[in-house]
Amino acid sequence: MQQIPLVDLKAQYHSIKNEIDQAVLQCIENGRFIGGEPVLRFEEQMAGFCNLPYCAGCGNGTDALEISLKALGIGKGDEVIVPAMTFIASAEAVVNVGAEVKFCDISGDTCLIDPLAVEKAITPKTKAVIAVHLYGQMADMEQISKIAKENNLFVIEDSAQAIGAKFNGKGPGHYGDLATFSFFPGKNLGAYGDAGAMVTKDEHLYATFKKIANHGRLDKFGHEMVGRNSRLDTLQASILSVKIKYLEQWTRKRQECTLIYTQLLGKLKNLTIPKVHPQANHVFHLFVIRVDAAFRDQLVKFLQSKGISTGVHYPQAVHETNAFNDMAHQSKDFPEASLLASECISLPIYPEMTKSQIEYVCSYLQEFFND
C-alpha cells in the first residue's frame, strides 16, 4: 500500500537540501538572528515577486492581518467584513484589534467571498473588508474594489493561501490597499517555522507596518508609537530567500497535478472538482473537492485506510465555531459557507507529487463512488 501525505515537506527539502543547508549555516555563522541583510534581501525578493514596491516581513500571517488593521487605524467601534468560510485567523485579527467582525457568505461555486454579500453587510460602522483568497484562488477583486470604493472601505487581501495567484493578470496587493501572507510551513511558500509578510504600493503604510512590527520604531531607540514584537527572523528569511526562487516552478507543478486530477475525476457524478473563475490564475494551495455531506466523513476514513491523507478546510464555518458563537446580535445564516464546511475534502497536492500518486488517489475515489 502506498502512503500519500497531504503535503510532503521532506521531499521538497531534499530537492534543495544543499542550498538550504548552506543558507542556514551561513546565517548561524554570521551570528545575526534578528534583522540584517537576509531579511532585507527576502523582503526585496518578495516585493519583486508580487510586482509591488514594498514588502515588510513579520512573525506570521495572523500578525500580518493584525498589523495591517492597526496600520489602517481600525479598532474599537469599527466593523470589518470577513467571509464566513476561511481559516479562523482572518476573523481573529479583527477581534484582537478591538473591532467587530461582520461575517458575510461566500459564493457557492468558487467558494470565495461573495461581492453581493459584502455589499449587504455594509453598515455606517464598516471600515474595511478582508477579501480572503481561499484555497489559492483570488476573490473577484474587480467587484470587491468597486464596492469598496463606492463605500469608502479599505480592502485587505488575506493572501495566506494565494501567493503567486492572479485575477485579471494582477496579483494580491494590486487591487487592495495591501495583501498579507503567511509562510507557515505547509503554505505554498513555507518557512521552517512561523513567518509572514505584508505587501503594498503605499509607502506610508509600509513605514507604519515596519514600525508596528518592531516596537514602534524605525531606528534603535526612536519609539514613535506603541508597537509590538512581530519580526520575520533572520534564519527564516534566509530559508525563504532560497525557496522563493523555486516558487513559480512549484506552482506550475501544482497546476499540472490539478490537470491530472481533473482528467481522472471530472466525470465522477457524486463529486465536484474546484471551479476556477475564467479571469483567475489559481495556485492551488489546496485541491478541495465536494461530496454529499452524508458520506464525507466515510470517504475520509476510506481514503485513510488506503494510506491516503486528506484534510477538511474547514469542518466548521467561522461563525459556527465556539470562538464566535456569542454573536447573537448578528445573522448566523451563511448557508453557502455552512454547506461547504459539510461537503469539502482536500486531496493531497504538492509540487513533488507524481502522476502515479495522483492515479492511486483517484483509483480509490472511483472505487468509493462506483459501489
- Interface with ligand PLP (CB under 6 A): 60-62, 86-87, 89-90, 132, 158, 160-161, 182, 184, 194, 196
Q: Which is nearer to ligand PLP, 196 or 351 (CB)?
A: 196
Helix or strand holding residue 28 (H, E): helix 17-30
Compute the least distance from the CB of residue 232 to ligand PLP, in Å: 11
Compute the least distance from the CB of residue 166 to ligand PLP, in Å: 18
Q: At what angle do helices 203-213 and 61-71 cross, to 10 degrees?
A: 120
What is the three-class DSSP state of 246? helix
Task: Give the separation between CA 242 and CA 49, rounded to whole angstroms.
Answer: 13
Q: Which is nearer to ligand PLP, 93 or 358 (CB)?
A: 93
Q: Which is nearer to ligand PLP, 45 or 96 (CB)?
A: 96
Helix or strand holding residue 104 (H, E): strand 100-104
Compute the least distance from the CB of residue 262 to ligand PLP, in Å: 23
Q: Which is nearer to ligand PLP, 62 or 357 (CB)?
A: 62
C-alpha cell at 72: 489602517
Q: Which is nearer to ligand PLP, 115 or 172 (CB)?
A: 172
Compute the least distance from the CB of residue 187 to ligand PLP, in Å: 6
Task: Give the separation between CA 59 and CA 70, rounded to whole angstroms.
Answer: 15
Phi and psi at 155, nearest 5°, equal -120, 120
Q: Which is nearer to ligand PLP, 184 or 209 (CB)?
A: 184
Compute the least distance from the CB of residue 92 to ligand PLP, in Å: 9
Which residue number has the CB closest to ligand PLP? 61
Q: Which is nearer to ligand PLP, 60 or 357 (CB)?
A: 60
- Residue 3 exposed, middle or buried by CB count within 10 Å (0-12, 13-18, 19+): exposed
Long-range pairs for 302-307: beta carbons < 8 A, 24 or more residues apart: 302/364, 302/368, 303/361, 303/364, 303/365, 303/368, 306/1, 306/364, 307/1, 307/2, 307/3, 307/4
Compute the least distance from the CB of residue 341 to ligand PLP, in Å: 15
Compute the least distance from the CB of residue 133 to ligand PLP, in Å: 8
Residue 113 bridge partners (DSSP): 106
Residue 233 bridge partners (DSSP): 34
